[in-house]
Structure 1
Amino acid sequence: MSTNKPLFTDFESVSSKQWKQQIQYELKGADYNETLVWESPEGIKVKPFYHNDEVEETDSKISINSPEKAFEILQNIFVHDVKKSNERALDSLNRGAESIRFTIENDTISIADLMQNLPLEKTTYYFYLPFLSVDFATKVSDYASKNHAKFVIQVDPIGQLTKDGNWFENLESDFEKLNTIASSSAINYLNISSGIYQNAGANMVQQLAYTLAQANEYFNRIPALKHPITIEVAVGTNYFFEIAKLRALRLLFNTLAKEYHHNFDCNIIVTPTRRNKTIYDYNVNMLRTTTECMSAILGGANVVANLPYDALYHKDNEFGDRIARNQLLVLKHESYFDKVNNPADGAYYIENLTQQLAEKALELFKDIEKNGGLITQLIEGIIQRKISESANKEQELFDNGKEILLGTNKYPNKNDSMKNDLELYPFVKQNPRKTLITPIIEKRLAEKLEQERLSQES
């Protein structure tokens, strides 16, 4: 028998006051705030429940532009041999990848050879360039125009400064080239590599504020900017906070863009963080990356590039890539994460986190701008110091066992051996040289503990 009667109308609604009274009764005299309310590293007090009657009528619902279509599965390919990279791209697309990112280290690569026989019109190809060349950007743009291809260039001079400590050439030359590309490029070309902040230990408010400050530098210094900006983000395992972080990022970016009379949205590419990944008990990395990819999708990522479980210690390999890609395929086609648009809407907890993260990040962003902007504060070392302070707090929690990585500082397998399985050096590399600024160094939480365990292996 069919009925139009709404569900649950036979049950009386329960107010937040009633919930608190029942909780207080169950606590048997223990203090509600001290027992159940906890504070995040960002200074956000998290309550045990959220209720619609605590939302003031004057509060407007957070308006976030959701992606026009479901997230795309991105396959990363480092281009060393053009023919092999082309074959790998085609194979990845046949196995479920929906977009490809080529990392190209020099401007001698033939785009025509790299793209031979690859589908162009319906597949997006990203070109990550750790160099800045007007001629090469023009070559990529021209090829895209002539072949109706969906190309995106990813070049980020400020990201180069933060990671390397030096510009590609210098501030004036780098932005002169960017403005030249901006005036002629028919495709998106600008990238913000904000994942470095998360991987170096910055808290979420810092990640958002520094990303926004970096966007502001580009808005200020590239008057001819007319294409969407690609923002690369790293996400950790704080599930709901990471969802809220991505939503807050899009909200903040759109707010800033409007101030410059730009009407384009940002294109967010999300990758799981390396900070909490481990070389011991490495299969746990798959569990971590699965929840992180879930946060990315629910947070509104346009594109998700999963991190292979063995990326820390193995060179690129077909098995690791296939497992990483299949994790996303399961989420998309078997868990139906692509069927609901903006699924976090209306979740009081996530809405509250989004609002608080956005407000705190905006406050920090304003302070950065008041004191000279991101580039000035990088040169003065202020950003590096703040990230280091945050990272040290998190490291202390890990070292004391308060932040847990299963299989590493909790329930480690003493028989696990990795010494003979390392194809890559999984720790911070030392490269003493002269730099304009102190680089922001990405470092995993487990590095010291893993080095100790490796030294004890027979």
Structure 2
Amino acid sequence: MSENLFNEFEPVSSKQWKQQIQYELKGADYNETLIWESPEGIKVKPFYHIDEFEKPLQVTTHTSQFKICQNIFVHDLDKSIARAKETLNRGAESIRFTIPNEQVDVEKLVNSLPLQSIPVYFYLNFLSIDFVKKLDSIAKDKNTTFFAQLDPIGQLTKDGNWFSNLEKDFEALNTIAIACTNIHFLSVDSSLYQNAGANIVQQIAYALGHANEYFNRVATISKPIVLQVAVGTNYFFEIAKLRAMRLLFNLIAKEYDHNLECHIIAAPTKRNKTLYDYNVNMLRTTTECMSAILGGADTVFNLAYDVLYHKDNEFGDRISRNQLLVLKHESYFDKVNNPADGAYYIEELTHQLAEKALALFKDIEAAGGFLTQLKEGIIQRKIQESAAKEQELFDNGKEVLLGTNKYPNKDDRMSHDLELYPFVKSNPRKTLITPIIEKRLAEKAEQQRLEDEKSNTGAE
């Protein structure tokens, strides 16, 4: 059927819609009643219309090609190999190994995997030229795609110290850049900023500033840079965040004649996850994975519902992986590219977030750059200010986490089930800068509930 079924309807202009809404409000103020402002200073309107829409942004996302990834911490080599095989058999399309030290036999780790058909990520907790050369050699021999997530600046932000020092770390990166041409070797971990409480504009701008330091200090970048992103619960804003991040990264990269798009690997945030009523975490991670996919993440790995208090386990892994399998194979999230195109709301959010983030990025560069502002503590202070505002909203019940500060189950008990310590750990030591610390919104409330549990148990 080729005829347009809606020719008989007259188009309704933006002005007409607003007049009708104003009439329905019966005298209430349109702006005060229906327009709200986000923590980033973006005023969100009740509707968006083609009349107010200018030119679509040039953001290309390859949603149909996104990969389902499983994260595996390599402690016992044989168990990690078995787990990797099992998770691939059960639907995962890529693996990310977290490697604690360079003593891990990486050749044995990957030798039995179908490397020609899956990309493999290596999140390294160290910086070793020889180890990365070994990965490069394997990638060449096996004709496979390896991502070595090297991020000395990320190490500095979360730990307070470099792997060695600024000069040696960047000397190692430049050596790797020349010697290792078969792997992706550079990564920007922006998830820390989200998990520590930065607002969305800050997350984008800090990721750009972070990446810009590498553009300035690494002479040869011949492979796409990996951006690791944490996705929050503000559904449409998070879709727009990833699109704005890709848009601005490409803009800045071109200034350095780097014409390769960034490679985005995304996971749900930990900031809104809860210890009590933990099954709600599955609802949160589902919508966050949806935002990641629609926003254009190249690879998505999910968090298990019990990630806060249980060690890695097969059941938690299976549930988190199945959430992504349902989105891909039953909800058909992989059927089109650029799924957000034509959504005026998302386009406008993308535009405003990009505009504000670019302005903040320029301010950072004008003040000496990202590393300078880290050293001066400005980045840390700005994140703490944003985190404090969000924490106040949570403490006052204006930001809701079901089962925690809204409709909590008073009979819920967790003290007996903690395999992991779910709160911020204190580790006093000498550091070069003040590290950026991840902290969940519910921590204080949960600590109080655990204390009450112990008190009640003692009374009994």
Using the size of structure 2 for normalisation, the TM-score is 0.98
In structure 2, the CA distance between the partners of 1:69 and 1:339, relative to structure 1 (3 Å rule), is closer
Query: Does residue 409 of structure 2 align to residue 413 of structure 1?
Result: yes
- Kindly state the Cα deviation for residue 112 of structure 1 after the two structures are TM-superposed: 2.0
Of residues 27, 41, 47, the one that matches 2:25 is 27
1: CA distance between counterparts of 2:195 and 2:324? 22
- Aligned-residue CA RMSD (Å): 0.8
What secondary structure is seen at the aligned counterpart in 1 of 2:116? Answer: coil
- Kindly state the Cα deviation for residue 68 of structure 1 after the two structures are TM-superposed: 7.4
Q: Which residue of 1 aligns with 2:67?
A: 72
- Superposed CA deviations along residues 177-229 of structure 1, whole A, max 9, x for unmatched, are 00000011121011101000000000000000000001100000001111110
Query: Does residue 11 of structure 2 align to residue 4 of structure 1?
Result: no
Q: 2:63, 2:296 within 8 Å by CA — same for their partners in 1?
A: no
Q: Structure 1: which 5+ residue stretches go unaligned?
A: none
Q: Which residue of 2 aligns with 1:255?
A: 251
What secondary structure is seen at the aligned counterpart in 1 of 2:204? Answer: helix
Query: Does residue 148 of structure 2 align to residue 150 of structure 1?
Result: no
Q: Which residue of 1 aligns with 2:186?
A: 190
- Kindly state the Cα deviation for residue 368 of structure 1 after the two structures are TM-superposed: 0.1
Q: 2:63, 2:336 within 8 Å by CA — same for their partners in 1?
A: no
Amino acid at match of 1:88: R
1: CA distance between counterparts of 2:188 and 2:30? 42
Q: How does 1:57-136 map to 2 (within 5 A)?
A: 59-67=54-62, 69-136=64-131
Q: 2:63, 2:334 within 8 Å by CA — same for their partners in 1?
A: no
Q: Structure 2: which 5+ residue stretches go unaligned?
A: none
2: CA distance between counterparts of 1:434 and 1:9? 71
2: CA distance between counterparts of 1:415 and 1:392? 30
2: CA distance between counterparts of 1:121 and 1:396? 49
Q: 1:86, 1:116 within 8 Å by CA — same for their partners in 2?
A: no
Moved over 4 A (4+): none
Counting aligned pairs with the same residue, the percent is 71
2: CA distance between counterparts of 1:10 and 1:297? 37
Using the size of structure 1 for normalisation, the TM-score is 0.98
Q: 1:198, 1:207 within 8 Å by CA — same for their partners in 2?
A: yes
Of residues 150, 156, 166, the one that matches 1:171 is 166
1: CA distance between counterparts of 2:51 and 2:145? 47
What secondary structure is seen at the aligned counterpart in 1 of 2:240? Answer: helix
1: CA distance between counterparts of 2:370 and 2:203? 12
What secondary structure is seen at the aligned counterpart in 2 of 1:74? Answer: strand
Amino acid at match of 1:165: G
- Kindly state the Cα deviation for residue 69 of structure 1 after the two structures are TM-superposed: 4.5
Q: 2:69, 2:299 within 8 Å by CA — same for their partners in 1?
A: yes
Of residues 371, 375, 378, the one that matches 2:374 is 378
1: CA distance between counterparts of 2:200 and 2:151? 21
2: CA distance between counterparts of 1:156 and 1:117? 28
Amino acid at match of 2:157: T
Q: How does 1:287-298 map to 2 (within 5 A)?
A: 287-298=283-294
2: CA distance between counterparts of 1:149 and 1:432? 42
Q: How many residues align?
A: 453
Amino acid at match of 1:225: I
2: CA distance between counterparts of 1:286 and 1:147? 37
Q: Which residue of 2 aligns with 1:17?
A: 15
